[in-house]
Structure 1
C-alpha cells in the first residue's frame, strides 16, 4: 500500500515496516527482541522458536527491499541482554545495511553496546520534512513517523465475528507504525473521521476506508 506525504512516497508493507523508496530507507518499530526469552526465563511456557520469528521476518523484508539503511524506531530490545542479544550480534555482523536506533522506553541496554556494533544511536532524528521518534510527537511543519503504541484495529462482521489486526495509524501529520515483533500485543484504536487506518493481514495492507 502506497502512502504519500508532500512530494514523498512511502510503501506500507504487510510486515509492519515502512519503506522510503527515494532514500532507500526502511523503518521498523517495536521489534522487542528478547521478549520471548524474557518471559520464558520468568516461567512462561513459550516455545523458543517464537523468538526466532523476528529475525526470519526481518531478513525477508530486507531481502525484498534491499535498503541501504534501516532505522529502528525504538524498543528494539524488550529488556536486558539474553540469548537474543547473542543472536542479534551475529545477525548484525552478517548485514551490510547502515543501522540506526532511535531509543525507546524499553531500550535499557547500555548505548555503547549498540555503538560497538556500528549502530548509530539517537534520541530522535529530523530528516527533510520528517520527524522520526519512538513516542508519537507533534512537531510544527514536520511529519512524525513513530511507533510505541502497537496500534491494532478490531474488525466486526455482520454477526458477532470479530478480528483484531495490527495496523498503520495515520493522522494528519503523523504515521504510527504497527509493532514489528511477534508476541507484542495490540493497543486497539478508534480513529477520528479525519484519520485513517491501514490493517495488516498476511501479505496485504488494506485501508478500512
Structure 2
C-alpha cells in the first residue's frame, strides 16, 4: 500500500519498493539500484538465487505499470561497479520502455557516460526543478528541498515483546528526504531521528509511518 505526502505544496507517492512518484512532474524517483551487485556476488561464490538477478527489473516494470511516468530519474548508484551480465539485461530493459530516463551520477557510477548516452539516457550531476534539488549525496539547502539517496536509510522497529525488525525507510527531515536503496542486497544504515524528522518504513508491500 502506497503512502501519500505533501512537500512544499507538491504531492509525492511513497511506494513500498522504495520509489517515489511525483505526479505534478510525472517523475518516478529511484535511488541506489546497484545493478550488477547480485551478479558480482554470484561470480565470487555467494549462494545468491538466480531469481534475484531479475528482481530489480521485475520491480521496475511493476512501478512503470502502476504510475506510467513520463520520466524516470535514478538518483545515483544505478550500477554497482564495472560491466557484467546485468548490463546486458539493463540494455534490453531500456530498449523495451518508452520513458525518458535520467541518471544523476553517484559514487558507484564508474561506467562510461557514453554507454548510457548510447541508450538515450541523460546524465546529470544534479537537477533542480520546481523548488526541489535532486542529487545522489544528501545536500543541505534552505531555498530548495533535497531529494536524494546514497545513505540506504533503515530503521529498527521495536515491539512490546522486545521484538526487533530492521526495515529500509524513507527518512524525511525539514529540507530533505533520503530515499531507501531500491536494489536487492544493498544493506542499510540505521538512522536515529531527531525532533521533527519523519520515518516511513517499507516492507515491500506497504509503507508504514513510524511515530
**TM-score bucket (shorter structure):** over 0.9
Specify the alignment match of 2:77 in structure 1: 75
In the TM superposition, residue 200 of structure 1 has moved relative to its aligned partner by: 0.6
Specify the alignment match of 2:94 in structure 1: 92
- Alignment of structure 1 residues 1-209 onto 2, 5 Å: 1-209=3-211
Once the two structures are superposed, residues 78-104 of structure 1 have per-residue CA deviations (whole angstroms, 9 ceiling, x without a partner) of: 010000000000100000000000000
In the TM superposition, residue 109 of structure 1 has moved relative to its aligned partner by: 0.5
**Superposition TM-score, scaled by structure 1 size:** 0.98
SS of aligned partner of 1:88: helix
Distance 2:204 2:150 in 1: 22
In the TM superposition, residue 49 of structure 1 has moved relative to its aligned partner by: 1.5
SS of aligned partner of 1:160: coil
In the TM superposition, residue 159 of structure 1 has moved relative to its aligned partner by: 1.9
In the TM superposition, residue 140 of structure 1 has moved relative to its aligned partner by: 2.7
Q: Structure 1 runs of 4+ off > 3 angstroms?
A: none
Please tell me the root mean square deviation across aligned C-alpha atoms, in Å: 0.8
SS of aligned partner of 2:157: strand
Give unmatched runs, 5+ long, in structure 1.
none
Distance 2:164 2:113 in 1: 42
In the TM superposition, residue 23 of structure 1 has moved relative to its aligned partner by: 1.3
Once the two structures are superposed, residues 28-78 of structure 1 have per-residue CA deviations (whole angstroms, 9 ceiling, x without a partner) of: 000011001111122222122211100001100110000000000000000
Distance 1:108 1:13 in 2: 28
Distance 2:18 2:36 in 1: 19
Q: Which moved more, 1:101-110 or 1:151-160?
A: 151-160
Give unmatched runs, 5+ long, in structure 2.
none
